[in-house]
């Protein structure tokens, strides 16, 4: 049986993982600029300067996703994704989950809230492990 640090590591799977993870944030980051009214509409009325927060979150999201995708300071990119995810998960989806007008909307927001938690966990792993392919010899 392989020891944990001796498991084979595939460059193709590492690249696929970066593409899959970053694609959500790249698409969403772009739409923060192309569909500002949609994102402003997601925010509770108590959030000040919703257009500014939409633009700032789009920049943070795109920067983090690109850093992870292109494996340039991916750990910092993971922290940027967390910086995006935590307030969005709590302020947007958590708030909407609690104050949803009906059960279907509450369940939809609950799914988004849980997805935000899972993505935050994945980003935390990136902050600790990075995303670079390491050969078995290099990790021994």
Domain ranges of the chain: 8-130
Please give the model's pTM, rounded to 2 decimal places.
Answer: 0.88
CA distance 30 to 120: 20
pLDDT in tens, 23-80: 999 999 999 999 999 999 999 999 999 999 999 999 999 999 999 999 999 999 999 9
């Amino acid at each position: 049986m392989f020891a944990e640090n001796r498991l084979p590591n595939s460059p193709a799977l590492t690249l696929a993982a970066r593409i899959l993870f970053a694609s959500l944030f790249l698409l969403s980051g772009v739409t923060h600029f192309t569909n500002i009214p949609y994102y402003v509409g997601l925010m509770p009325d108590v959030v000040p300067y919703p257009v500014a927060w939409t633009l700032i979150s789009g920049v943070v999201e795109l920067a983090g996703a690109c850093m992870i995708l292109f494996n340039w300071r991916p750990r910092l990119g993971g922290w940027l994704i967390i910086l995006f995810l935590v307030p969005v998960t709590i302020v947007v989806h958590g708030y909407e989950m609690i104050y949803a007008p009906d059960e279907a909307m509450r369940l939809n927001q609950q799914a988004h809230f849980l997805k935000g938690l899972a993505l935050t966990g994945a980003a935390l792993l990136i902050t600790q492990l990075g995303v670079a392919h390491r050969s078995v010899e290099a990790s021994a």
